[in-house]
A and B are shown apart, each in its own frame.
Chain A
Amino acid sequence: MNISDLILIIKKAINIENINLESSSENTEEWDSLGHLSILVALDKELNGKLSSIPEIATADSVEAIIAILRKNHLIDES
């Protein structure tokens, strides 16, 4: 999964088109607590269950924060 894939996953999870690197729960109405859970479910599926070994992902409520955590755990393709 690369960053474009991640953004696409988030778009699908919360069902909106307008997601970019600056998006967060603060500036995206659909990214509420339910939306955040939907993002986690979608990411967990994409990563074949690896998400559950990263507890800090639970509070990552922006695209930037999610990328940082995935990067730290070598779960994002930088190519």
Chain B
Amino acid sequence: MKVKISDIEFYLPHKSETGDQLKLDNPDWDIEKIEGKTGIKKRFISDVDETALDLAIVATERLFKKGVKIDEIDFLIYVTQSPDYLLPTSACILQDKLGLRKNCIAFDVNLGCSGFVYGLSIGGALIESKLCSQGIIVCADTYTKYIDKNDRTCRPIFSDGASSTLISLSENDQIGSFDLGTDGSGANNLIVYNSANRISKDKEKNLFMAGSDIFIFTMSSVPNCLNKILMEAKLKLKDIDLFIFHQASKLVIDTIVNRLKIDPKKCFNNYHEIGNTVSSSIPIALSQANSSGKLNSGDKVLLLGFGVGYSWGGCVVHWS
């Protein structure tokens, strides 16, 4: 696609949490063991009256402060599974709050860990079709609001955050070789029951994650997806300069890296200090990789998100 990532900004809530807080609430948890497996030492937690939309607004205002002209934004794709309301569409509220034009395309994408890559694919297609010249992909989630404080599977992993990514028309093909996929047979393995119209009387309205099933799904889908991307791009593993996977946890990323024989130095991770921010995990990592000097112009970056749905998506970005 003749589309490029022009800029990324992100925002994390002020409140954060470490293993000390987990231990305080759950004295029987072995924090050292949990952190050893997840690799996550710090997570960000939104306030009770702070929603994903609030985080999204701050992240996008940061982007606009850097000189992006608001009236030149043609579309807003809002990736979230933490909407303020079932209706109206959060993107419509966001369009108004950000002061975007009224003829701006705005819609939600209800996806989690794969959502950013889907956003890139959809936004890129809008630009390639010449319907639009540039737009923003805003990702924001507050999964921590769905998690019981005694849930040892979910609480040590998930974190809240938002990102805003500007994509625009470019002269060269800079984003492409997408592989996107779905397997809804895994829907019940990462789910918030009773969160909309379907009532399950025997279920709590909390995030439920079947970690082992998700792990098996990941180990099955990620290698296939990555191989398809490389084949489509006519690249070999060694041609990729940087890998950015969805920041699920240390255990998951280490297994992917070992399985695919990826040089760990070529894999950028930030789960240690940020946790798993769901839809924002890839754009935040991409932004941090860039700001920390891990990315150079012309580098080939492979992005790959996977999880809730099940849903997965990956692509290659030629960094500029």
Contacts and interface: CB of A to CB of B under 8 A. Distances in A.
Which 6 residue pairs of A and B lie closest in terms of their CB atoms, listed nearest first? A52-B219, A52-B220, A58-B212, A58-B213, A58-B216, A34-B37
A72 B152 CA distance: 32
A45 B258 contact: yes
Interface string A52-69: 111101110000000000
A6 interface: no
A37 B220 contact: no
B219 A49 contact: yes
- Interface on chain A toward B: helix, strand, loop, or mixed SS? helix
Give the interface size class of chain B.
10 to 19
Contacts of B33: 34
Contacts of B251: 37-38, 41
Given A34-B34, A37-B37, A55 B213 contact: yes
A33 B220 contact: no
B215 A40 contact: yes
A38 B33 CA distance: 11
A59 to B, nearest CB: 7
B184 interface: no
A24 B109 CA distance: 41
A33 B153 contact: yes
A37 B213 contact: no
Interface of B: 33-34, 37, 152-153, 210-213, 215-217, 219-220, 223, 251, 255, 258-259
Contacts of B210: 58
Given A44-B219, A44-B259, A52-B219, A59 B37 contact: no
17 contacts: A32-B152, A33-B211, A33-B212, A34-B34, A36-B211, A37-B211, A38-B37, A44-B219, A45-B255, A45-B258, A49-B223, A51-B216, A53-B220, A55-B213, A55-B217, A55-B220, A58-B215
Interface residues of A, number: 19
Contacts of B34: 34
B212 A59 contact: yes
A47 B37 CA distance: 21
B190 to A, nearest CB: 13
Nearest to B214: A58
Contacts of B215: 37, 40-41, 58
A52 to B, nearest CB: 4
A54 B213 CA distance: 10
A55 B185 CA distance: 11
Contact of B216 (A32, A33, A34, A55): A55
Nearest to A53: B220
Nearest to B36: A34
Given A52-B216, A58-B212, 6 more contacts: A33-B211, A38-B251, A40-B215, A41-B251, A44-B255, A52-B223
Nearest to B213: A58
